[in-house]
């Protein structure tokens, strides 16, 4: 008990945060409530915003796509809170626990910051822009030296909390920018 359990917890945290961000970004038109997003909210016991507030929120944030920031925040807080609860039950030394708490503190705000940038980015290429961008991201994931790495860890798929940091905070994998 242990480092392995802690590592599993970190990976799961990164994976769940990435799923939430992916589903939030897939919400189109911005502020709508498609079924996959509604289901994620339900699974995390997050109440959707009332309709008027959803659209006011995405307008305020100038989103071209995506779920309201408030909803993703509530999801990330639920995910982080669940991991915090699990961490409390692990017997790990203080240094590792401290580091894990730092990650739990960072995951909500830093994931939201990345999300807001992505959701507000104008689509390139008109109505097929997002589909194209998605295909390009997949292609880029197979090739090194792409800014895609700013968003996802190529090793574990977690969101990148600090794109300028080459080490993934969830799996410790290094991104090579050469
Ligand atoms: Zn990783």
Residue range 67-102, pLDDT digits in tens: 999 999 999 999 999 999 999 999 989 998 999 999
- Give yes or no for residue 127 having a pLDDT over 60: no
Report how far ligand 1's centroid is from the alpha carbon of 159 (Å).
8
Total domains present in the chain: 2
State how far the alpha carbon of 113 is from the alpha carbons of 4, 138, 139, 144, in Å.
Answer: 29, 22, 24, 24
Helix (H, G, I), strand (E, B) or coil at 174: strand
In this structure, the answer to whether residues 175 and 126 fall within a common structural domain is no
Residue 178 is predicted with a pLDDT of 47
Report how far ligand 1's centroid is from the alpha carbon of 65 (Å).
26
Helix (H, G, I), strand (E, B) or coil at 166: coil
In this structure, the answer to whether residues 95 and 175 fall within a common structural domain is no
> Tokens 């590592």, residue?
7
Region 38-65: mean pLDDT is: 97
Q: How many angstroms separate the CA atoms of 134 and 145, rounded?
A: 17
Report how far ligand 1's centroid is from the alpha carbon of 132 (Å).
25
In this structure, the answer to whether residues 90 and 163 fall within a common structural domain is no
Range of the domain at 178: 148-178
Report how far ligand 1's centroid is from the alpha carbon of 147 (Å).
15
In this structure, the answer to whether residues 172 and 84 fall within a common structural domain is no
| Inter-residue contact 175 to 154 (CB < 8 Å) | yes
Region 11-38: mean pLDDT is: 95
- Left if phi > 0, otherwise alpha if psi is -120 to 50, otherwise beta: which for 162? beta
Report how far ligand 1's centroid is from the alpha carbon of 158 (Å).
5
140-150 pLDDT, tens digit per residue, is 544 444 444 45
Residue 136 is predicted with a pLDDT of 60
In this structure, the answer to whether residues 110 and 172 fall within a common structural domain is no
């Amino acid at each position: 008990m242990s480092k392995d359990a802690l590592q599993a917890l970190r990976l799961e945290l990164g994976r769940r945060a990435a799923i939430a961000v992916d589903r939030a970004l897939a919400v189109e038109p911005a502020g709508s409530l498609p079924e996959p997003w509604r289901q994620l909210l339900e699974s995390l016991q997050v109440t959707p915003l009332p309709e008027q507030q959803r659209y006011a929120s995405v307008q305020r944030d100038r989103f071209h796509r995506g779920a309201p920031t408030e909803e993703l925040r509530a999801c990330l807080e639920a995910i982080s809170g669940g991991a915090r609860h699990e961490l409390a039950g692990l017997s790990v030394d203080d240094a590792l626990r401290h580091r894990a708490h730092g990650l739990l503190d960072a995951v909500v705000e830093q994931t939201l910051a990345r999300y807001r940038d992505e959701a507000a980015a104008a689509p390139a290429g008109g109505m097929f822009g997002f589909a194209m961008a998605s295909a390009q991201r997949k292609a880029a994931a197979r090739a090194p030296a792409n800014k895609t790495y700013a968003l996802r860890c190529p090793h574990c798929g977690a969101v990148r909390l600090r794109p300028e940091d080459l080490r993934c905070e969830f799996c410790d994998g290094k991104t090579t920018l050469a």
